[in-house]
Structure 1
Amino acid sequence: MANGWTPERRARQAELIRRWRPWEQSTGPRSDAGKARASRNGWKGGVRPALRELARILRGDG
C-alpha cells in the first residue's frame, strides 16, 4: 500500500484496538470550559456570508 500499511499490519492494528477498546475510557469534556470548547467543534465560521450581505446592502443592491 502507498501509505505503508500492509493488509497484515492493518488487521493486527484493528485487533489491538478492538482489544484495547479506547472508546470505553473516553469521558468527553468534564469542565465547563472544556464543554464550551467542545460545543463549538462543528462551527465552520460564517463571517464571510455576513460580510457579503453587508457589502450588498452598502452598495444599494439589496
Structure 2
Amino acid sequence: MSKYHKAAWDEESRQRQREVIMKRKPWLKSTGPKTAEGKERSKMNALKVSPELHALIKEMNHLMKQQKEIFSTISQSL
C-alpha cells in the first residue's frame, strides 16, 4: 500500500469528512444535466443492460401490451 492510500477510514477521518461535506452542501449546487445530450446520457445511469438490449425489452413490452389488447378485444366479441 502506498503512503497516499489508507486501507480504510477510521472513525475520526469519517467524522471529519462528514463535517466538511455537511458544511459545503454540494447537493445544493448539483443541478443535473442541462443539454439534451446530457439528459439522454444520464437516463442511462441506472441501466443494468446494454442500450440495445434495453431497446429490445421496451419493444417486447410494447408488443406484449398490443397482444393483450387484441386478446381482450377477441374475448369480448365472443
TM-score, normalised by the number of residues in structure 1: 0.64
Residues in 2 aligned to 1:43 and 1:5: alpha-carbon distance in whole angstroms = 30
Matched, 1:10 2:37: no
Greater RCO between the two (CA within 8 Å, min separation 6)?
1
Matched, 1:36 2:40: yes
Which runs of 4 or more aligned residues in structure 1 lie more than 2 Å from their structure 2 counterparts after TM superposition?
A: none
Q: CA RMSD in A?
A: 2.0
Gaps in structure 2 of 5+ consecutive residues: 1-5, 57-78
Secondary structure class of the residue paired with 1:33: helix
TM-score, normalised by the number of residues in structure 2: 0.52
Which amino acid in the other structure matches residue 5 of structure 1?
W
Q: Name the % identity.
A: 38
Gaps in structure 1 of 5+ consecutive residues: 51-62
Number of positions where the alignment pairs a residue of Structure 1 with one of Structure 2? 47
Between structure 1 and structure 2, the one with the greater Rg is 2
